Each structure stands twice: as C-alpha cells, then as structure tokens.
A and B are shown apart, each in its own frame.
Chain A
C-alpha cells in the first residue's frame, strides 16, 4: 500500500512530467506549423510575383503584335502570347484566390492565348488588330487591378492566413466580385463563343432534342426492356434538379447483389448512362463471346448504326468503345460514341454510356483530295489501315478526315500511330501514339 504523501509525490511527478512532455510536443508542433506556413507563404508569394511579372510581359507581347501590319512581323510575339497566357493560367490555378475570379481569369487567359495562336492560321490581320487593341486595354486595366489586389501578400505585409481570411470575409478589402464581373464582361466582348463552340455546348446540353416528353413509368419501362436482369428488384425514381440543362429521370435500382443507376432523358427517353456494381467470380468468358453480347445488345437496342472501335480488358470487366457510322461516306463519327462495360464472368452489361451518341453530330459533305501517303510520310512509315472518319479539330469543327493506322520501324522497334488528316485541306488534326 502507498502511504499518502509518497503517493501524492508520485502523482505530482507524473503530472509535471506529462505537462512538460506535452509542452515540448506542442512547442515542436507550433514551430513545425510555423515553418510550414512560412514555406507555403513563400511559395504563394513567389507564384504571385511570377504571375504579376508575366502579366506585364503578356501585355507587352500583345502590344508588340499590334505594331506590324504583316503577319510575319508578329509571329514570334503571338507565340509569346500563347505561351505566357498558358503560364499565367497555370500560376493562377495554383494560387489561393477568390474562386469566381480565379475561374473567370483562367478562362480569359485561355481564350486570349488560343485567339493569338488561331489567328496565325486564319491570317485575318484586320480582325486581329481590332480585337487585340481592345484586349490590350482590358489587359492593362486587369494588370493594374491584379497588382493592387495582390500587393499585401507580395510585399510581405500580409500572412497567408490573413490573405485567406480576407478572401473569405464578407467585407473583403478588395472587390473580388467586381473584378470577376469585369473579367467576365471582357471575355464576352473580346472573345465571344464561336459558332462551333456554341454548337458544341448545345450538343453537350442536349439543347436540340425535340422528342416528346416521356413519363417516369415510361422511363422505367425503357429500363426494363434494356436491362431485364437488374430491373426486376427495387426501383426508386427521381427527377433531375431544376438547374440541370437537360431534364432526366434518375433511376436507382437494387436486384440481388447488383445495385446501380440509370439516367434517362425526359425528352425522348434516351439512355444517358447506366452503371451496375456487384461482386464478381473468378471465371472469365472468351472475348469473342463477350464482344458478341455487346453487339447483340447494341443492335437489339436501337444502336445498330455503330461499329466496334476498341476494347480494353481489366480485372473484372471489358470496356468497349463503339462509334456511329455516317452512311454518306461510311465514315466513323468519333463524337457520337457509345461505351459499354461488360462483366468477364457472365457477359452481362454492367454499364452503358450514350450521352454523346444521343444528339448526333450534323456532318457536312466535304471534298476528298487524294494524298500520296508515300510522299506524305517518311520511307520507314507504312500505312496499315485507312478509313474515313469525322473528327473534331481544335476549332471544334467536325471535319471529314483520313483516319490512318501507321507503323514506323526504327532500329528493330515497331511503333504504331493513329494519324488523322483533313480530306480537304490536308491538315493533320491528330497524331496519337498507340500502346
């Protein structure tokens, strides 16, 4: 048994020891946090300074391009605009800024750089001069605003904590909302959406769907016809929220061990996407059986105008890609694609994604110029396969193209590429190395 005073002594010793250990630990942690905070503050300040400096350079580069009438004189400066706007965009993306401002600022910089690059191709110097004169003024104003807004952190009078607090504060010292609005207005006036960009957005938002609305019962019926193996269990139907650009039914299901969802548009009852999750067995069906299941499913479900493009095997399933074929030229349309996910153990359809297929691309007729591939490629390159395909170029236009599979022999190593060449202009739209 412990005597009273001795026991008290031990207790006091343990307490003092614990408090001392805790204090040392807390001191250590605080010091470490402070060091980390200084480090982070240093990194952010560096990025901000860099962005400010590059903004000045960008402003100068834009002005330089306005000096010359001839395109050649400004080619280098245009390249600088593209490079600098891309670098500033990267800096802005890694800085703790007001979210709205950061988003619209990155958008503006991206469009400025793309416009400078694209204008080299179009060669419309008059239009370039008009737009960039306006952009130059706006850029100058923005650079001044940016300098004022970031001065606290750059000159060291503000900590990173203070900076963040200021961003989140309702009475922020700087009018970020005002800056956001200004950048948005400048983007709309300097670089409005092109017709192709607007079309691309309309397709994404399924704006052009004119089909009749279906009821939720009809949506369930569609689900049951397409996927009978998982649609006989419990089903919950919800509608999309009012902010959705296209209204749809969101159906959740559970059947035995399978659970998942299917989204079906209200207009026309088109399947947007379907995905099921369940445990898998070790067994595996042959690829030919699985591919046949995929193709039978597509032809029986109203997607018979698609053809196989590629497939990838993974642990439990195969992911398939099918593309629509446009009948005029028998050309694949790579923007109208359907993805299927098929279980290796049973061959059941586990997933389908047809969002891009629903609203089909409007393709135009286009001349097809003969190209001599032997002159087009180096002598160690062999064209293995040649097809026609509609492919989106970097101006978001659908272009009829030669879709080539080529192989290149180099010191005993064979490399394979997909090369996409515009049938009319001969422009190389894409070159992708194959695995």
Chain B
C-alpha cells in the first residue's frame, strides 16, 4: 500500500513538474518564441495583449516590426523581465497573466479589414470603425507596398499562369528590372500599364484574380530573386508578332518564354 501511495505521489510530482516546465500552459500563444520579423497569429495576440494594457499603440496586423519591438521592451522593463524585445516563454506567461485577449473580436475585425483597437477598460464595440476591407497577407521589403504586390500578382497571373514557378518569378523580376532601368517608367504601375508593354493589359487578362502561386512568385521577386538574370523583355516565340523583339540579345528560355535584354 505504501509503495502504491509513494508511486502515486512521485507520478503526481512528475506530472506537476512537466506542467510547470511545459512551453506555455496558458493563452493561445504557440510554443515558439516571437521576435522582430515574425508574422501571424502569435504576433496578433502579442500586439493585442500589449495594447490591452497600454504598451502598444500601433495597428494590430500580425507584423512584428519596430513598433511592436519597442512596446515589448517597455513591457519587459516594467515587469522586471530581461529586456531583449523577444517574446519567449517567461515574457508570454507574464503577458498572459496581466492582460486579456478577445481573439474572436480581433480576428473578426482583421478579416473584415476594419480599423480597430483592443484597449482594456473601454468597451470593445466602441473601438471599431470601417477600414479598407483588406487585411495584411504578407510581409514585404520596406521599399514595396501591398499595392505593388497586388498589381504584380495580377500581371504575373495574366501573363504567365501556365508557366513553371521559375517562369512566373522571372516575369515578376522583369517588371522590377524595368522599374530600375532608365528606359522605363519608375513605378510598378507605370511599367505594367505602359501602353503595349504587356499582352495581359491589352487583352484584359490582368484583371483575373491571381492564385496563391502567382502571389508567392511575386513575393520571391520582391525579395530579390531574378531567374531571368537581369532581363528587361520576354516573349513567347510561338505567338510573338513583333520583329523588333527578335533583335534583342537573348539570355535564357524558361517554359514558353524567352528572356532578353
């Protein structure tokens, strides 16, 4: 009997230890540490909780930028935690203890693209107003905007949706190469809508809804990938009618497109 009791006690002690040592027992945070550059649900919860207790005044968008970083450091300093701007287990536990998070309210408003805040002490329904109706889907390098991504994804899908992934990234890279080139307009929109530049603009296919693959291809191009190897033109040799395009020095062929300068 004694043995059974001592075994039971040991088992309970071990379970208790496991519970205490577990990565994160409270809240909806995942077990991952959250730091600058992170994006997604963990960051949304982090921002919402920091805002609830008045440390974060920015937009709750799931993007861990400098605004979130300074807010987190201030929180860590106030609560005597190591000040590193990284939300590890200790910081997350403390944050869960001292704040509240209405996940449904926050996620609903993000999905609807509303403007909202999540401060404690004020009724949440008083903290919402109509926004753009769009939610942030990806993180981009600082010099590009969500509008650039959208326009380019439309162009890539309209021009190259049947092409391999590499070919789609290459088409996006050609648009960016033109923006940087002195012979072309200086903006993504200017390049895409330059008369006669892209078939998809002429035949209206640019207005088709792009798929996730086209968006991912554009994201890679915006992050620096250029499978076209610095091309500023491309054409389909089967359908090209312009004689001029054949006079351009060719670099490589990807799928049905020949890329040239």
Contact = CB atoms under 8 A, between A and B. Distances in A.
A binds B: yes
B40 A313 contact: yes
A277 interface: yes
B184 A339 contact: no
A99 interface: yes
B153 to A, nearest CB: 14
A89 B141 CA distance: 26
Nearest to B74: A414
Interface in B214-261: 216, 219-220, 223-227, 229-230, 244, 248-253, 258, 260-261
Interface stretch (A244-252, A369-377, A419-427): A244-252
A208 to B, nearest CB: 16
Interface of A: 89-90, 93-97, 99-100, 102-104, 106-107, 110-111, 204-205, 238, 240-246, 248, 250, 252, 259-261, 263, 272-273, 275, 277, 284, 286-288, 310-316, 318-319, 321, 337, 339, 341, 351, 353, 355, 407, 412-416, 432-435
B225 A93 contact: no
Contacts of A341: 220, 223, 225
B183 interface: yes
B183 A312 contact: no
Contacts of B260: 243
A272 B231 CA distance: 14
A48 to B, nearest CB: 12
Q: Which of B30, B186, B194, B244 has the most CB of A within 10 A?
A: B194
A314 B138 contact: yes
A318 B138 CA distance: 11
Contact of A250 (B30, B63, B252): B252
A416 B229 contact: no
Q: Say what secondary structure dominates the interface of chain B.
A: loop
Contacts, number: 155
A339 B225 contact: yes
Contacts of B37: 287, 310-313, 318
B41 to A, nearest CB: 11
6 contacts: A243-B248, A259-B164, A316-B216, A339-B225, A351-B220, A353-B225
A332 B252 CA distance: 33
Contact of A248 (B183, B229, B253): B229
Q: 3 tightest A-B contacts by CB?
A: A243-B249, A416-B66, A93-B185
Given A241-B252, A243-B250, A319-B223, 17 more contacts: A95-B195, A106-B183, A106-B184, A205-B230, A245-B230, A261-B227, A287-B33, A287-B38, A312-B223, A313-B37, A319-B219, A321-B224, A353-B224, A407-B70, A414-B66, A414-B70, A416-B66
A288 B224 CA distance: 23
Given A310-B37, A355-B226, A275 B166 contact: yes
Contact of B70 (A103, A240, A314, A416): A416
B190 interface: yes
Contact of B139 (A252, A261, A313, A351): A313
A52 B252 CA distance: 39
Contacts of B32: 284, 286-287
A415 B258 CA distance: 45
Given A96-B196, A107-B183, A312-B141, A244 B33 contact: no
Contact of B183 (A104, A242, A434, A435): A104
A272 B226 CA distance: 9
Contact of B185 (A89, A252, A355): A89
A106 B182 contact: yes
Interface residues of B, number: 55
B156 to A, nearest CB: 14
A395 to B, nearest CB: 14
Q: Which of B35, B166, B186, B250 has the most CB of A within 10 A?
A: B166
Contacts of A263: 227, 229
Interface in B99-156: 138-142
Contacts of A319: 219, 223
Contacts of A287: 32-33, 35, 37-38
A286 B33 contact: yes
B253 A241 contact: yes
A286 B226 CA distance: 28
Contacts of B261: 243, 245
Contacts of A248: 229
A433 B67 CA distance: 11
A90 B224 contact: no
Contacts of A288: 33
A321 B33 CA distance: 20
B166 A243 contact: no
A94 B166 contact: no
Q: Which of A244, A407, A434, A435 has the most CB of B within 10 A?
A: A435
Contacts of A241: 250-253, 258
Contacts of B70: 407, 414, 416
Contacts of B219: 314, 319
Nearest to A409: B70
A11 B139 CA distance: 62
Given A93-B194, A96-B195, A435-B65, A275 B220 contact: yes
A273 B33 contact: no
Interface in B171-228: 182-186, 190, 193-196, 216, 219-220, 223-227
B22 to A, nearest CB: 15
B230 to A, nearest CB: 6
A316 B220 CA distance: 12
Contacts of B164: 259
A420 to B, nearest CB: 13
B139 A103 contact: no
Nearest to B245: A99
A260 B166 contact: yes
A432 B142 contact: yes
A287 B142 CA distance: 21
Nearest to B261: A243
Contacts of B250: 241-244
Interface in B67-110: 67, 69-70
A240 B229 contact: yes
A241 B169 CA distance: 19
B133 to A, nearest CB: 21
A353 B229 CA distance: 11
Q: Which of B69, B186, B226, B252 has the most CB of A within 10 A?
A: B252
